[in-house]
């Protein structure tokens, strides 16, 4: 089981401190960093200066910029209904190095096979994943899930038992 950390809803100085302590396994929600613009310059900073290799954003062009730099750009899609999902996918850069974050994550289990095929991979399930069972179920569809600390502990404990 690979484990990483999604940094979101934090200020720039905290991001710098965490990344300087070790950027391996860190992903950043660039849209939620206070004091850093979610633009090409901001992405260049987190990738170049901080060594972050995974950048999440609601801006498809920015995710493509991240991919062009050799990192993984993740387009954050709010998929509360099929119309929102369709609109988001119309602008999604379907190319190598750009994946999809679906929020709320449990929506993935209700998508049709056709909708799932249209989602550029990797697919990350994000939000409202509150139990290890739900996380494991979503991992049969998604490539990764974002969970909170309690759910993460439950996943790790379950992995130890199943060894």
> Over the stretch 89-143, which tens digit does the pLDDT of each residue have?
888 898 999 999 999 999 999 998 988 998 999 999 999 999 999 999 999 999 9
Look at domain 5-161 and name its CATH class.
alpha beta
**Which of 29, 118, 133, 123 lies closest to 82 in space, CA to CA?**
118
Q: What pLDDT does residue 163 have?
A: 67
Confidence category of residue 40, pLDDT binned at 50, 70, 90: very high
pTM, two decimals, is 0.93
Tell me the pLDDT of the chain averaged across its residues: 93
Supply the pLDDT for residue 2: 72
pLDDT in tens, 42-84: 999 999 999 999 999 999 999 999 999 999 999 999 988 777 7
For the four alpha carbons of 73, 79, 82 and 88, in that order, the dihedral sign comes to negative
């Amino acid at each position: 089981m690979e484990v990483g950390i999604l940094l979101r809803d934090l200020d720039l100085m905290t991001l710098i401190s965490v990344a300087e302590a070790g950027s391996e396994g860190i992903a950043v929600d660039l849209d939620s960093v206070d004091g850093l613009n979610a633009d090409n310059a901001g992405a260049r900073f987190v990738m170049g200066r901080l060594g972050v290799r995974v950048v999440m954003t609601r801006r498809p062009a920015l995710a493509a910029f991240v991919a062009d730099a050799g990192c993984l750009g993740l387009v954050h899609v709010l998929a509360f209904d099929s119309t929102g999902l369709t609109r988001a996918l119309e602008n999604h850069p379907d190319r190598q190095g750009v994946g999809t974050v679906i929020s709320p994550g449990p929506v993935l289990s209700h998508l049709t096979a056709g909708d799932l095929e249209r989602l550029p991979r990797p697919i990350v399930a994000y939000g409202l994943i509150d139990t290890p069972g739900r996380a494991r179920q979503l991992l049969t569809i998604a490539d990764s899930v974002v969970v909170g600390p309690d759910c993460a502990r439950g996943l790790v404990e379950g992995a130890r038992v199943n060894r």
